[in-house]
């Protein structure tokens, strides 16, 4: 079965082809980062307009490079939410039009389910599992007893982990999105120069809070003589990353113990973070838990994960009608 995937929930326009015989045939991502970087964050209307300009040419490019026509496909899978509604509508309308014109089944995908199932794109997943979803808009601990079954155990009370990276990067004068530069600079940082908070560590709930981190970083930066030199910035990045990774892995492994799972997984853009991947690998090994980090290209937003999730749903006999609506917010279990 050949499934065309479409992802436009935020600032990446992506199309992909998943073939159930051979895996991901192609995954194209057109990033809008440079445009939004100018404003220090994603501007929703500009994102929608850029999707409108880029999406159909990307589909066309993919079909040509795969030597396929629309009628050769078996289905269209498209992100229905959560995300920026205008951006989602561009992908959803395009997906519907393509499905209708070639008489193909259409399946709407929850963006977070796509991120989680990205773990299955290159390695078979082991269940029961605990998944830490960490992206620009989400930080959640999700128990997954088997494929397609999700139980949210906890989440952030304020900012998402990706937002914590993006906001602290902005304070340090680093570009948007802030995760990749902080990740790189942290590797050159000196441990111990700053101390940032790890809130809610003693809270029995599986909850996170990252909003205090940006204040702590701002106060630390204000105490340094301006302008900040490269080593100052690297040292702050090191401790920002430590604080975020400590909180994330504490809750992930607490949840893993609570539910006696066999495996832990990371999902979402922050799963690309080298500090988080290394720490999770180390802690999982200590506890005898299975862990393989998802491939970097499948951590940040991409349509391969959407096409694959679409195939899983179609395989289970589920698809949607042409009246499928988008949703800006909605949990994994409640949106359908």
Please give the residue ranges that form the binding site for ligand KG4 (CB under 6 A). 10, 135-137, 162, 165-166, 177-180, 183, 268-270, 272-273, 300-301
Q: Does 113 bind Zn ion (CB under 5 A)?
A: no
Span interacting with Zn ion, options 60-68, 128-136, 169-177, 306-314, rule CB under 5 A: 128-136
> Minimum Å distance from CB 7 to Zn ion?
8
Kindly state the DSSP code that residue 224 receives in the 8-state scheme. S
- Selection from ligand KG4, Zn ion, none that 166 binds (CB < 5 to 8 A by kind) is ligand KG4
- Selection from ligand KG4, Zn ion, none that 8 binds (CB < 5 to 8 A by kind) is none
Q: How many helices (H) and strands (E) does the chain have?
A: 10, 10
Q: How many CB atoms lie within 10 A of CB 320?
A: 20
Closest to Zn ion by CB, 14 or 63: 14
DSSP strand pairing (106-110 vs 129-134): unpaired
Q: Does 301 bind Zn ion (CB under 5 A)?
A: yes
> Minimum Å distance from CB 67 to ligand KG4?
30
Helix (H, G, I), strand (E, B) or coil at 29: strand
Tokens of 305: 């994960």
Nearest to 109 by CA among 76, 137, 84: 76
Rounded CA gap, 109 and 232, in Å?
A: 43
Rounded CA gap, 39 and 17, in Å?
A: 32
- Selection from ligand KG4, Zn ion, none that 165 binds (CB < 5 to 8 A by kind) is ligand KG4
* CA dihedral for 322, 326, 106, 62, sign (positive or negative): positive
> Minimum Å distance from CB 240 to ligand KG4?
10
Rounded CA gap, 23 and 320, in Å?
A: 23
> Minimum Å distance from CB 236 to Zn ion?
26
Closest to ligand KG4 by CB, 73 or 234: 234
Q: Does 183 bind Zn ion (CB under 5 A)?
A: no
Closest to Zn ion by CB, 135 or 247: 135
> Minimum Å distance from CB 165 to ligand KG4?
4
Chain-centroid distance, C-alpha 16: 16
Residues near Zn ion, by CB under 5 A = 135, 301
């Amino acid at each position: 079965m050949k499934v065309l995937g479409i992802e436009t929930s935020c600032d990446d326009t992506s199309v992909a082809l998943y073939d159930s015989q051979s895996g991901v045939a192609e995954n194209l991502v057109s990033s809008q980062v440079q445009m939004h970087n100018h404003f220090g964050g994603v501007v929703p209307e500009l994102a929608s307009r850029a999707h409108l300009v880029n999406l159909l040419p990307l589909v066309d490019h993919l079909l040509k490079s795969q030597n396929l026509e629309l009628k050769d496909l078996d289905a269209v899978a498209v992100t229905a939410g959560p995300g920026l509604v205008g951006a989602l509508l561009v992908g959803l309308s395009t997906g519907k039009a393509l499905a209708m014109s070639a008489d193909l089944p259409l399946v709407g995908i929850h963006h977070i389910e796509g991120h989680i199932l990205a773990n299955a794109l290159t390695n078979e997943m082991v269940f029961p599992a605990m998944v830490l979803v960490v992206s620009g808009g989400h930080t959640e601990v999700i128990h997954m007893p088997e494929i397609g079954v999700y139980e949210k155990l906890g989440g952030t009370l304020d900012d998402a982990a990706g937002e914590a990276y993006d906001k602290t990067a902005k304070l340090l004068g680093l570009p948007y999105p802030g995760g990749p530069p902080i990740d790189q600079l942290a590797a050159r940082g000196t441990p111990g120069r700053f101390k940032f908070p790890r809130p809610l560590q003693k809270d029995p709930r599986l909850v996170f809070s990252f909003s205090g981190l940006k204040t702590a970083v701002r106060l630390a930066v204000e105490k340094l003589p301006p302008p900040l030199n490269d080593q100052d910035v690297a040292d702050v990045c090191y401790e920002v990353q430590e604080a975020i990774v400590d909180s994330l892995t504490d809750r992930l492994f607490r949840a893993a113990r609570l539910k006696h799972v066999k495996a832990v997984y990371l999902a979402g853009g922050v799963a690309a973070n080298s500090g988080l991947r290394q720490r999770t690998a180390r802690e999982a090994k200590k506890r005898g838990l299975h862990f393989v980090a998802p491939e970097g290209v499948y951590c940040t937003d991409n349509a391969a994960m959407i096409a694959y999730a679409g195939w899983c749903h179609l395989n289970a006999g589920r698809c949607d009608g042409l009246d499928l609506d988008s949703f800006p917010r909605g949990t994994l279990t409640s949106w359908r």
